[in-house]
């Protein structure tokens, strides 16, 4: 998957979130050792979103197989760092995987909430 396809998928998701009333706090939040595709908020909710662009039917693959343990640890570490950097410790982040089907189409977006053992990654 080329970088431009991934970037277009992230743009698509950010636009979709914005249209639904979400505020995009950060895009491609990078620090040493991690990157978070999108950090979005609305009211008291804070989302950490990993976007994956794929050319397959969503039912054919377990979405959790798209994220390695190392990537999950990096997402959690990244959100901990973001909380410290922004001094926004009042909201706990929800971790979401957004799979975007290609070609881009509003009907080809699958949202999966990561419900793992967060304590194992902090």
Domain borders along the chain are 3-121
Alpha-carbon separation of residue 100 from 1, 41, 82 (angstroms): 12, 20, 25
Alpha-carbon separation of residue 92 from 34, 81, 106 (angstroms): 19, 13, 28
Give 78-116 pLDDT, tens digit per residue. Answer: 888 888 888 776 777 888 888 887 766 556 777 777 765
CATH of segment(s) 3-121: 3.40.1350.10
Give 13-26 pLDDT, tens digit per residue. Answer: 999 999 999 999 99
CA neighbor of 114 nearest in space, from 71, 84, 59, 80: 71
Q: Is pTM beyond 0.85 here? A: no
**Over the chain, what is the mean pLDDT?**
80
């Amino acid at each position: 998957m080329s970088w431009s396809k991934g970037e277009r998928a992230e743009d698509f998701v950010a636009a979709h979130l914005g249209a639904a009333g979400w505020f995009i706090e950060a895009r491609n939040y990078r620090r040493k050792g991690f990157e978070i595709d999108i950090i979005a908020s609305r009211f008291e909710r804070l989302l950490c979103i990993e976007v994956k662009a794929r050319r397959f039917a969503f039912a054919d693959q377990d979405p959790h197989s798209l994220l390695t343990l190392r990537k999950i640890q990096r997402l959690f570490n990244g959100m901990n760092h973001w909380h410290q950097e922004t001094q926004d410790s009042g909201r706990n982040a929800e971790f979401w995987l957004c799979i975007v089907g290609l070609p881009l189409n509003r009907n080809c977006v699958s949202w999966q909430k990561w419900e793992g053992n967060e304590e194992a990654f902090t």
